[in-house]
């Protein structure tokens, strides 16, 4: 599971680049998630809880999660992300711009290595609970007990500052789908 949480956080942080505007006092409402893959996909999320709802950015976040993989998840691990934004009651696919939006990431393991270089300890609370933060992720069950995170101010593209969003990520490796996760959230800034 924490691979999904780390992937979501990692992809969010990777996308925070140039041509962005400062987002302060943003809030996320109505968070929801579900697995969207085949019943025999090897990587599944079993539980994910986030609070408070709405989530304030910047602010404090409490999260717990669990998941499992029946196979080792090793490089190269691709992720195909589809991001949709609700516009006037219709869902519109957000194109991939500067590696943000509906993008295909050829190797998430490489992205994780850039965010958390090999040899560096995993960030808290993953380190405390002995959870991995880079590839390979061994086959088995993973669990993140209820933990607190400090969410800093984040620069986001102006088109991601307000609205309702749906995100789907399909994890792949060796030419096969390994898992699929859908998230729904609303983002509102003051």
pLDDT grade for 21, boundaries at 50, 70 and 90: very low
Instruction: Give residue-wise pLDDT tens across range 113-141.
Output: 999 999 999 999 999 999 999 999 999 99
Length of the chain as a residue count: 190
Q: Are strands 59-69 and 154-156 parallel, antiparallel or unpaired?
A: unpaired
% of the chain with per-residue pLDDT over 90: 58
Describe the chain by its helix, strand, coil percentages, rounded to 5. 15, 50, 35
Measured distance CA(102)–CA(94) in Å, rounded: 6
Of 148, 162, 165, the C-alpha closest to 23 is: 162
* Secondary structure tally for the chain: helices H, strands E: 2, 12
Measured distance CA(112)–CA(168) in Å, rounded: 19
For 84, the domain range is 2-189
What average pLDDT does the segment 57-77 reach?
91
What is the residue whose two structure tokens read 């989530």?
A: 55
Of 180, 178, 170, 160, the C-alpha closest to 81 is: 170
Measured distance CA(173)–CA(104) in Å, rounded: 13
| CATH of residue 38 | 2.70.220.10
The number of folded domains in the chain is 1
pLDDT grade for 76, boundaries at 50, 70 and 90: very high
């Amino acid at each position: 599971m924490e691979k999904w949480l780390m992937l979501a956080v990692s992809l969010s942080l990777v996308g925070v680049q140039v041509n962005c505007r400062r987002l302060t006092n943003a809030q996320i409402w109505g968070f929801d998630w579900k697995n969207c893959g085949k019943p025999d996909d090897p990587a599944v999320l079993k539980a994910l809880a986030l609070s408070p709802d709405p989530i304030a950015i910047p602010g404090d976040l409490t999260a717990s999660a669990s998941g499992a993989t029946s196979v080792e998840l090793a490089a190269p691990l691709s992720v195909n992300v589809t991001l949709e934004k609700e516009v006037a009651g219709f869902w519109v696919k957000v194109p991939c711009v500067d590696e943000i939006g509906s993008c295909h990431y050829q190797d998430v393991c490489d992205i994780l290595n850039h965010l958390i270089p090999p040899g560096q300890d995993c960030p808290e609370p993953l380190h405390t609970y002995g959870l991995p933060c880079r590839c390979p992720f061994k086959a088995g069950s993973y669990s993140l007990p209820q933990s607190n995170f400090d969410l800093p101010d984040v620069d986001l593209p102006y088109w991601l500052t307000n609205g309702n969003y749906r995100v789907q990520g399909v994890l792949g490796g060796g030419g096969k789908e390994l898992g699929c996760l859908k998230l729904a959230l609303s983002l509102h800034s003051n």
